[in-house]
Structure 1
């Protein structure tokens, strides 16, 4: 049995409307926490949790091309990291140094090491016990973005603080 074109169009429109209503109904959970991640509460996690550090403080700082100098934005993030780490002294951290894919492997390993070292030095200057910190350079071996463009390169020029 063939369905007429106007009826077919109406059925498709009705199906689309049902789909949109279903998606909209799922997008809001009654009594959900207004902030945070899931049911972790305001700030993105229980106070002193690794999740709180990641969401509320931030785990990475970025660098300019061929540079291991901290930008004002990076220093602001590291100030928040130092305050959190000084408050929750039970955690050890690893600072990972990274570079974008341009340049040789050896150059990028050395650049990543300089970036990690500058972050370690900054955190210790803010009172974080150096015995709690280790560092490692990954150079260009662990990109978070892959493309041949500044938008990817800028994401890969970073130092990441991993709470252990």
Structure 2
């Protein structure tokens, strides 16, 4: 039976992923290779599906760190089965829902506020009286999804006052 392992060039051609990216994936622990007697990398065919999973996750905005963590949690993670894919995609759906919620809140508050560098002193005094958020540190404190309902209520009151 001929050797079913593939060279890095063959994997690159089959997946459309640059050789340098394959090497990077390997250093990050996302994929594995063996070395032949000439010290060249050789990949099993199971790496093709794994790279497809990595590409799909990246297109969905999942970080390589998160992808690596999730792949490491799969038994025999060299082979991504349909059951493993269900586990991965379910986990990533939760992560994507959280990102969508944060981005929606950002979109909805962008015209009113930059974190708490508000564009309106009146509006800012409604959301952040006496600069209370300063005690919580720097950053966009008001863009926390946990505060979304409060922010929406205050925005509605502010908009009503402007009419």
TM-score, length basis structure 1: 0.24
- The structure carrying a bigger helix percent of its residues is 2
TM-score, length basis structure 2: 0.24
- The structure carrying a bigger strand percent of its residues is 1
